[in-house]
Structure 1
Amino acid sequence: SSFTRRASNLAHVVIKAEGATPTKSVVVLHGILGNKGNWATFSRRYTSRSNVPSSEHAAPFLHLTLCPQHFLPKLMEVPMPIATKKELVATLEAKGFDIGQAQWMTTNLKPLGDGFVWKMDLPVVALLFKAFLATDCWPILEHPPPNTHIHVVRAELNKFWTRDVIRRFDTVATQTHHRVHLHLLEKADHWVHVDNPQGLFAIMQRSFK
């Protein structure tokens, strides 16, 4: 696979198989506090259809289980720049992060002078998260744009998938003449591409034929 970095306001990486001339594109967006490398392994393996993604290099992602409303204020309290990544780990542990969470957060640092600063603008992240909580996507699902199908992955182990939510999806599927699709991803929680990459690959592959 090859990587192409372009100068733009939106940081991104283009991934394609060596020598390939793609006719279609898939846009993969990372989550809050993530970065454009989070899905790189999964996406790179997808460019070669003979390679089913595996869960290698997945361990660091398993640690960030805190809710954003809990950890964002603590991250904003960390004085920047910070001298070393080791110092960040110690600082976050003192604020209640476990060792895995604290170590994972060092992936969000970038060098500046003799120390490190956050790659992201935390006040902006806080605003984005607030906007996320205030956004109701049900109207989009209930009235999808013309000639559009919407596929949603339900992580089997994620506690936010309540019976009421699942029933509502069933209703939406009927109302939209099955233009909204709900796919069950077994043995997966929040990190779907980490918990069950093979299953996620299989779900996505059906749409890319």
Structure 2
Amino acid sequence: MDKSIRDPPTAVLLHGILGSRKNWGTFTRRLAQEFPTWQFLLVDLRCHGDSASIKKRGPHNVASTASDVLKLVWVLDATPGKVRAGGDGEDHPAELISFLRKLPKEVSSKREIVNALIKERFSKDVAQWVVTNLQTNGPPGSPSSHFSWIFDLDGISEMKFVENLPRGVHVNFLKAERSLHRWALEDLQRIHAAEDLAAEEGGGVEMHVLEDAGHWVHADNPDGLFRILASSFRGFKA
């Protein structure tokens, strides 16, 4: 951060459902190097990671989550409506959460969970990503060590996109070209219909498409994502 700026602009990068602040570590370092006048903050959203132990008053939705952080939101490859799995549907979020509910709160190994998820026809990538939500509860390598989950599934299950955005909030939707989630025409129409209304309320809604990327946008096409997000930082007046 450039210390000569009294009140530097701050960017808060938010992870997705069942993620954590660690998801954006590498990409955020790149942003910080390119935009040294900005300061960057990675957070665990309510019901996720280290924030899961902090009991927040409901409802748990995008409006309350946004108010936890700041009034600029990028929604990366998540639809404003009902999530529709793409392909053969193996990684549908609702089905994943439902399966995780059946698992014990404490497990003996991450490999055990990965194998269980793959057996239930979830992809290997998603299985390996899910276990990043496990933390050790004992000395690593000791016979008595075990793992516990660092999320609140009850709170996460409530998180659905709201129709009416908080006043002044600017939301940018980014759709991955090869998304695992199918974006229905009605969802796209809702985004475009919200653009004029949001402008009247002092906010805004914009739609972007990231080419050559699946759902893991920051890993599949980091250069393309960087170019799209960079406009937010270059266009900001401190």
Offset at residue 47 of structure 1 (A): 0.6
Give matches, 1:20-169, under 5 Å.
20-21=2-3, 23-49=8-34, 66-113=91-138, 114-121=144-151, 124-129=152-157, 131-133=158-160, 135-136=161-162, 138-140=163-165, 145-146=167-168, 149-158=170-179, 159-169=181-191
* 1:165-193 CA distance string (max 9 Å, x none): 33333333345369322222222332222
**Pair 1:171 & 2:193 matched:** yes
Offset at residue 39 of structure 1 (A): 0.6
Letter aligned with residue 155 of structure 2: L
Offset at residue 86 of structure 1 (A): 2.6
Aligned residues: 169
Query: Which portions of structure 1, spanning 4 or more consecutive aligned residues, are displaced by more than 4 angstroms?
Result: none
Query: 8 Å contact 1:109–1:116 — kept in the other structure?
Result: no
Letter aligned with residue 115 of structure 1: S
Greater shift, 41-50 or 182-191, is seen at 182-191
* 1:118-139 CA distance string (max 9 Å, x none): 3324xx323322x223x42x32
> Percent identity of the aligned residues?
31
> Which runs of 5 or more structure 1 residues have no equivalent in the other structure?
1-15, 51-64
Offset at residue 195 of structure 1 (A): 2.3
Q: 2:146 aligns to what SS in structure 1?
A: strand
CA distance in 1, matches of 2:134, 2:153: 15
Q: TM-score of the superposition, structure 2-length normalised?
A: 0.59
Letter aligned with residue 43 of structure 1: T
CA distance in 2, matches of 1:105, 1:44: 23
Distance 1:181 1:92, change over 3 A: closer
> Which runs of 5 or more structure 2 residues have no equivalent in the other structure?
36-89, 139-143
Q: Which has the higher contact order (CA 8 A, sep 6+)?
A: 2
Q: Which residue of 2 aligns with 1:190?
A: 215
Distance 1:25 1:78, change over 3 A: same
CA distance in 1, matches of 2:12, 2:223: 19
Q: CA RMSD in A?
A: 2.9
Letter aligned with residue 152 of structure 1: F
